[in-house]
Structure 1
């Protein structure tokens, strides 16, 4: 197979930032994706329905003429989040999920949750109205090794939350371990998981062998090759509980390439070509549409997109490149080897 046409895909985990960065990166997503779940970890974070509406207006104002794109808004969960505001924002059709960041887990997460008992009323309201909870699945305790933080989160935070609120729909975002894959396999109700492009392409050796590669550094950090293989198997399995969430996260090169660089991989530009490469390697091109275009809408209760996107296999090309933004250059994710697939229509 050297050509494939899919329903137009969606991205169920995306960072657009704000201001000049938003203006530069939005077209890179809107070129291929019809919709995206928009992360709320701005500075200050998007905490209320009114703030989400304002952010949505700024996104639509930044969309270039002739492009169509629907931002699916989320709220940033804090210990002061008002359940009534969450319910109203959902009822209006504006907010499609609430995002849980354990405090200090990743970029702009310091306003996140420390005491999970304080947000239990929000979880109960969300379960009643069918609003999904999107989780950044890592604990932040210093004594827990960074490569173990996802597994510990599942055991000590996620599973207790789900047992206490059994009707709550949960998306385990950007899973990185076989532990997460096993947990999804064991829980068939009200649970989905997104997998990123870069976690399908790299493991921790790619970050560290031959010198540190700052543009491969992300959170959750890439794990062993065995975990990468488990993610590939899950993504290409056809199981509807897995769907694409790129976690595409732009940072300027000066912020990535410093003594304490930012976490995030900017994959929006080349995600579809990279996924075609991965799915072909796994002999699963016939399941690419499910992962990118069908499973996510089914989980969120939204219609499948009407438009299509076509990929074709051609001459091998390098994906190395930079995106110019008003804040500085952003390096696009490059797997370090040529890719033969590209979006052609």
Structure 2
């Protein structure tokens, strides 16, 4: 039985850090284990220009505690007014590593997102030319479409037409939640990958709804049927280089989660590596954990792999994780998998 693993230090290819007091409170939870992260730009106001991204990166680095090493990989929020020249310059400087597409109204702070895709054709053409990835929140917002079908419909209505109209555009389907999403990634010959979250490997929609509404399991895209959770597990543990970790760790203070119209997001930065070791062990795939967390993402983003390493150790007693992270903005509940976890990152 394997009780210890050594991995290259992992990266998180989809992370929300927020800003201000929340940023200061949650950043150490990621930087403790992760070397780099793709930082989501859906602030208020959103990060839409190279200057915005540079300023936000500065605030992140200023919030990093002494003695911690962490590299924020910045993104721009795609709007119908995005300037292709500004985007090109931000990418050429090395500052911006991707652009994020939010269909307008799809998730938290997405109201500045795209409604008319014809208005961003020039930006997408520029991105295809320079090889800058487009990270997509893959859901339609048509009220006639059931919330559990929004990802599958997005592939047919939006994503596939965009990719056909823009040859060479490199796309990351973020936080896929369905077997259709995994199958679509596998169907592509090139220029398509997907991130998978920690929580979507663990929960299905029953966890959210059976026995009462559990707001800390509410996220967007919402958790789906068990068959989809199992499909995500198969993809994540397969070793296929097109699938890699993007936690979508999304902090909200408890009062904004535990209310009549609660915010979407699961906060998993604190215990992701332990939970993933548990999941991969269940799937008899511990030998694929490093690929999923540390190798596949850098390869797709054309970045070097991390030289530093971490150790995961399995103990005899369950690991005790904090129930909440206290921030200057208020308490943030840590994702509870609902089962004991025996793996933890060793503190060397």
Q: TM-score, normalised by structure 1?
A: 0.99
Which deviations, in whole Å up to 9, do the C-alpha atoms of 1:106-131 show, x marking residues without a partner?
Answer: 00000000000100100000000000
Q: Matched residues in 1 for 2:268 and 2:255: separation?
A: 18
**Pairing of 1:39-54 with structure 2 (within 5 A):** 39-54=40-55
The residue that corresponds to 1:280 in the other structure is 281
Tell me the secondary structure at the aligned position of residue 329 of structure 1. Answer: strand
Q: Which residue of 2 aligns with 1:327?
A: 329
Partner residue of 1:13? 14
SS in 1 for 2:97: strand
Matching residue of 2:143? 142
| TM superposition shift of 1:318 | 4.6
Equivalent position of 1:130 in the other structure = 131
Matches of 1:239 and 1:230 in 2, distance apart? 13
Distance 1:320 1:36 in 2: 22
| C-alpha deviation, 1:185, in angstroms | 1.1
Q: Which residue of 2 aligns with 1:72?
A: 73
Deviation at 1:240, TM superposition (A): 0.2
Secondary structure of the residue aligned to 2:73 is: strand
What is aligned with 2:111? Answer: 110
Aligned length: 345
Cα distance in 2, alignment partners of residues 51 and 184 from structure 1:
32
Query: Aligned to 1:123, what secondary structure does the other structure show?
Result: helix
Q: Is the 8 A contact 1:7 1:289 kept in 2?
A: yes
Contact 1:3 1:310 in 2 (8 A): yes
- Separation of aligned partners in 1, 2:61 and 2:184: 37
Alignment match of 2:343 (pick from 334, 341, 344): 341
Q: Confirm or deny that 1:153 pairs with 2:146.
A: no
Residue-by-residue CA offset, 1:168-224 (whole Å, 9 max, x unaligned): 000000000000011011112000100000000100011111111100000000000
Task: Give me the whole-angstrom Cα distance separating, in 1, the residues matched to 2:322 and 2:283.
Answer: 24
For residues 26-64 of structure 1, give each alpha carbon's deviation from its aligned partner in whole angstroms, at most 9, with x where no partner exists. 000000000000000000000000000000000000000
- For 1:316, what is the secondary structure of its paired residue? coil
State whether structure 2 residue 97 is matched by structure 1 residue 96: yes
Q: Does 1:204 align with 2:209?
A: no
Gapped runs of 5+ residues in structure 1? none
For 1:167, the equivalent position in structure 2 comes to 168
Whether contact under 8 Å (1:77, 1:100) holds in the other structure is yes
* Separation of aligned partners in 1, 2:68 and 2:189: 37
Q: 1:214/1:320 Cα in 2 relative to 1: closer, same or farther (>3 Å)?
A: farther
Contact 1:297 1:304 in 2 (8 A): yes
Give structure 1 regions of 4+ aligned residues with deviation exceeding 3 angstroms. Answer: 317-320
**Residues 304-323 of structure 1 aligned to structure 2 (within 5 Å):** 304-314=305-315, 315-319=317-321, 321-323=323-325
Question: Per-residue displacement from partner, 1:3-36 (whole Å, max 9, x unpaired)?
Answer: 0010000000000000000000000000000000
Q: Is the 8 A contact 1:102 1:138 kept in 2?
A: yes
Normalised to the residue count of structure 2, the TM-score between the two structures is 0.98
How far apart, in 1, do the equivalents of 2:173 and 2:117 lie? 17
Matched residue, 1:234: 235
